[in-house]
Amino acid sequence: MSGDGNKKQFWKRNTAKVPGSIQHVYGAQHPPFDPLLHANLIKAGSKPPPATPGKPKKATTFQEFESITSDAWDVGDDDDELLAMAAQNLNIEVVMETANKVIENHSKQQEKQRQDNTTEPEQREEEAQEEPAEEEEEEEEDEEDRGEEGDVTSPELSFASETSPHSDGRLVKSHSEAPIGSPKDAAGERAALHRQRSLPHRPPVIPLVARMADQNTSGTPAMTEREASRLDKFRQLLAGPNTDLEELRKLSWSGIPRQVRPITWKLLSGYLPANAERRESVLQRKRQEYFGFIQQYYDSRNDEHHQDTYRQIHIDIPRTNPLIPLFQQASVQEIFERILFIWAIRHPASGYVQGINDLVTPFFVVYVFEYIEEEVENFDVSSLQEEALRNIEADSFWCMSKLLDGIQDNYTFAQPGIQRKVKALEELVSRIDESVHRHMQQYEVEYLQFAFRWMNNLLMRELPLRCTIRLWDTYQAEPEGFSHFHLYVCAAFLVRWRKEILEERDFQGLMILLQNLPTMHWGNEEVSVLLAEAYRLKFAFADAPNHYKR
């Protein structure tokens, strides 16, 4: 099969259409793309169209291109310095030095963890070999105990480490791969058993919304002294008659405790006023206004000129986070349909575009947490009072609207905002990691083919929802977080996978990797390092755009 034919088949399978002339490149949809299934499809698929002799003609417009392609900075103690400087233009050397400290602390922790994981099995193996053969039965019992200890692995193994397990287990040996063999002596057998039992296991499946180790998202584990202190700072700041929004942004940049995240997001998004006395009246007025829109417009969803919009929303809602039971409940899907339909008809310049449905979910989850203490992934929203559900719906609508107001050119005709950002990402990556950029060029991977989704969905298809919520803490605290800082996060995110990218040696392998990056077990620590890198890039390039232009 020719390279061009292979490319066309790949994109034909991985492209989703929306109403109208614009066609959106989505790549692999949830659940994650299965490379084995993909390989079988290639074998079973029909014969591709014959490749055109010579190099295919480059698209000259966005539409032509699309038709062709068919929770907290708890890494170290140095981070408070970085947070205090987040919203200010500061000396670049100081900023980069501080960001480097965060990243260096992370690297040291990973190196120490690797050493601990490798030295402990070696010590046990030596002990097993030195034990006398005549005590074999007692020793085997002891080995079982020690083997069980070796089975305990931390779910915090980080993807930032080269030896960390991926969600697909590529870097983790299974028991069937362990060198058990048939040793002649009992000591050799015991040593092999030790090696087998001390191999790291694949980390347990972690909820997509929250995981035990992420205090800022799940609230499950007991708070550390530092986390309790941060929560007190938030509460003191929020308790005043007039909240200092600048101070709130500085404090929020490092992640917001779950207990105060709902009100903090409402304040940072501009939905609530800084004056505490006015908040309740503003909430009542905005909630009544939203349900006034429902009464006025929602019945028109079946009208001829709104049918296509509503039908597309109705199709997309069940695809929104299909692996999380919360979003498969009928009442939740009805809430999302109302939010998206009302937003679409009040914004005719863009209307509804695939991808906007994802942007409701973080707000909805955060505002559900305002009324419950338990984990939200399997929570039955029908157990909430009707008033609480109405409040969650209206608050989610207004905060999503505030977000989209800043990035609406991402969704107008031909999506010029996304085109500009993808081009800026390409220029930025060419300056910060030329090897990765040239590797993409060598195998004819266009940035639009993978980064379109990163901009259209704000990385929500690439990260677990718990990570998105943590990321949005910073986006809402950062000036122009969703419209500007996101570019630097995408650049840091791409370069984060440089090793895996450079190992791929063909177009198809690169596209499968870039559309299915192994982030399922990411948590606050990984997001913290990503943000530190993005922060460093922003202050190196944001005020000097010519730095990333050749």
Bridge partners (DSSP) listed for residue 16: 24
Per CATH, is 416-542 categorized as 3.40.50.720?
no
Q: Rounded to the nearest 5°, which phi and psi values hold at 23? A: -120, 130
Average pLDDT for runs of 10 along the chain of length 550: 54 44 36 42 43 45 46 40 44 53 64 62 51 46 42 34 35 34 44 40 49 42 85 95 96 95 97 96 97 94 89 94 92 97 94 94 96 90 95 98 94 93 96 96 96 96 96 95 96 97 96 95 95 93 57
What's the pTM value of the predicted model, to 2 decimals?
0.67
Q: How far is it, in rounded angstroms, from Cα 244 to Cα 235?
A: 12
Q: Cβ contacts of residue 101 below 8 Å, gap of 6+? A: 76, 78
Give 347's Cβ-side CA count (13 Å radius): 23
Question: Distance of CA 15 to CAs 148, 210, 514, Å?
Answer: 47, 30, 15
Looking at domain 279-406, which CATH architecture does it have?
Orthogonal Bundle (1.10)
Q: How far apart are CA 190 and CA 186, in angstroms?
A: 6
Q: Looking at the chain, which residues constitute the CATH 1.10.8.270 domain(s)?
A: 279-406
Cα 263 to its chain centre, rounded Å, is 23
pLDDT of residue 421: 96
Closest CA to 257 of 202, 289, 306, 219: 219
255: left (phi over 0), alpha (psi -120 to 50) or beta: left
Tell me the longest C-alpha to C-alpha distance in the chain.
Answer: 87
Cα–Cα dist 277/279, whole Å:
6
Q: Give the residue range(s) of CATH 1.10.472.80 domains in the chain.
A: 416-542
The whole-angstrom separation of Cα 274 and Cα 238 is: 9
CA torsion 260-263-267-272 (nearest 10°) is: -160
Question: Token pair for residue 69?
Answer: 């392609």
Residues 4/49, Cβ–Cβ less than 8 Å: no
